[in-house]
């Protein structure tokens, strides 16, 4: 039986976007117009400006509609906060596709207070309001697997942020795979995103993005594709095809030096080579894994990641 990852069979074209960014309406340093200009002029097709939705900043849902052009669009959103994680710190949740009048949480600042929603409750409310929801920067937050389970248990997240470029440049804690792979091994179905989380306070921009397959560069089409999982994530390389044909996986990509398949627990396998644009691998090693996912690595060490495939 042959199965092609839906992102490669879905109609439309690939559109490059960053889903996590801040402006000076919260703790970023640039005006929303300049943030949008920079992403537009770097060749991005779309941007979600996701300022911190807390009281100290007046609960901003930054209006980026004036900065749309014929070739560049924006999705309204915010990084939303409420409730304490196991370590006592405030939840950070990415919500892309929020209505302008989304009701604020009782979140005055960056410390949890009593009488506020839990993180999972706020995430569920954002999802009901139409947002694509992701658990932000797990490694930077010190998020535990049990924190992540609490949001997955109520199906209040579409994805985990597995690479956060700001956390890479600012504190060398970019990872979300430790948490995501554990949830996937437990049978949860979540996708993965790479983002910038740019504040423009350091070289925290243009380092991680999503490539969304959509029929139009419009917010609703992009959001639909994000929610369906019709995208992959990248720091540079392109993923061009992923096909599971019986017990073999076939991957096509821009020139890379490694293709890695990861599954549950210790299940993982790599193919190395020079300027490979295609690679294949038997899947026997993954016979006991409920999922696999693909990573490709180019000669500069930059990666691209597929969403999971479930058996």
Of 143 and 256, CB closest to Zn ion: 143
Q: Are strands 159-164 and 93-96 parallel, antiparallel or unpaired?
A: unpaired
Provide the minimum distance between the beta carbon of 119 and Zn ion in the complex, in angstroms, as a whole number: 12
Select from 81, 92, 158, 309 the one that contacts Zn ion (CB under 5 A).
Answer: 92
Of 19 and 242, CB closest to Zn ion: 19
Provide the minimum distance between the beta carbon of 240 and Zn ion in the complex, in angstroms, as a whole number: 30
Q: Which stretch binds Zn ion (CB under 5 A): 70-78, 88-96, 117-125, 267-275?
A: 88-96
Separation of alpha carbons 137 and 203, rounded Å: 17
- Measured N-to-C along each axis, helices 177-185 and 145-152 cross at an angle, to the nearest 10 degrees, of 60
Position of minimal CB gap to Zn ion: 92
Q: How far is CA 259 from the centre of its chain?
A: 21
The structure tokens 């990084």 sit at: 79
Provide the minimum distance between the beta carbon of 134 and Zn ion in the complex, in angstroms, as a whole number: 11
Other residues' Cβ atoms within 10 Å of the Cβ of residue 153: 10
How many Cα neighbours within 13 Å face the side chain of 186? Answer: 14
The tokens describing 141, both together, are 């937050």
> Quick check: 79 binds Zn ion (CB under 5 A)?
yes
Select from 117, 147, 197, 298 the one that contacts Zn ion (CB under 5 A).
Answer: 197
Q: Which stretch binds Zn ion (CB under 5 A): 107-115, 136-144, 146-154, 173-181?
A: 136-144
Of 181 and 197, CB closest to Zn ion: 197
Provide the minimum distance between the beta carbon of 14 and Zn ion in the complex, in angstroms, as a whole number: 25
Q: Is-contact 61 76, C-beta < 8 A? A: yes
> Quick check: 147 binds Zn ion (CB under 5 A)?
no
Provide the minimum distance between the beta carbon of 290 and Zn ion in the complex, in angstroms, as a whole number: 29
For residue 256, report the phi and psi dihedrals to the nearest 5 degrees: -135, 165
User: Between vectors from CA 264 to CA 259 and to CA 269, what angle results, nearest 5°?
Assistant: 25
List interacting residues with Zn ion (CB under 5 A): 79, 92, 136, 197
């Amino acid at each position: 039986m042959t199965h092609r990852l839906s992102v490669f069979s879905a109609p439309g074209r690939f559109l490059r976007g960053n889903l996590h960014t801040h402006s000076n309406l919260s703790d970023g340093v640039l005006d929303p117009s300049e943030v949008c200009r920079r992403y537009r002029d770097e060749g991005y097709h779309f941007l979600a400006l996701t300022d911190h939705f807390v009281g100290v900043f007046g609960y901003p849902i930054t209006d980026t509609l004036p900065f749309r052009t014929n070739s560049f669009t924006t999705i309204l959103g915010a990084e939303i906060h409420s409730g304490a994680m196991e370590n006592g710190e405030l939840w950070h949740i990415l919500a892309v596709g929020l209505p302008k009048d989304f009701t604020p949480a009782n979140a005055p600042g960056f410390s949890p207070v009593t009488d506020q929603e839990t993180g999972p409750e706020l995430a569920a409310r954002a999802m009901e309001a139409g947002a694509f929801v992701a658990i932000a920067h797990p490694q930077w937050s010190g998020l535990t697997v049990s924190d992540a389970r609490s949001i997955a248990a109520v199906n209040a997240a579409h994805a985990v942020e597995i690479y956060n470029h700001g956390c890479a440049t600012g504190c060398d804690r970019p990872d979300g795979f430790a948490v995501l792979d554990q949830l996937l091994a437990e049978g949860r179905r979540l996708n993965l995103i790479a983002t910038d989380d740019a504040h423009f306070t350091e070289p925290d921009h243009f380092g991680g993005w999503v490539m969304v397959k959509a029929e139009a560069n419009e917010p609703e089409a992009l959001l639909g594709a994000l929610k369906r999982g019709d995208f992959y994530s990248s720091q540079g390389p392109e993923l061009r095809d992923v096909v599971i044909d019986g017990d073999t996986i076939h991957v096509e990509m821009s020139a890379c030096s490694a293709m890695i398949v990861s599954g549950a627990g210790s299940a993982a396998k790599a193919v190395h080579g020079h300027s490979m644009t295609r690679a294949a691998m038997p899947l026997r090693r993954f016979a006991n894994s409920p999922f696999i996912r693909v990573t490709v690595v180019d000669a500069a060490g930059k990666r691209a990641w597929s969403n999971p495939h479930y058996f």
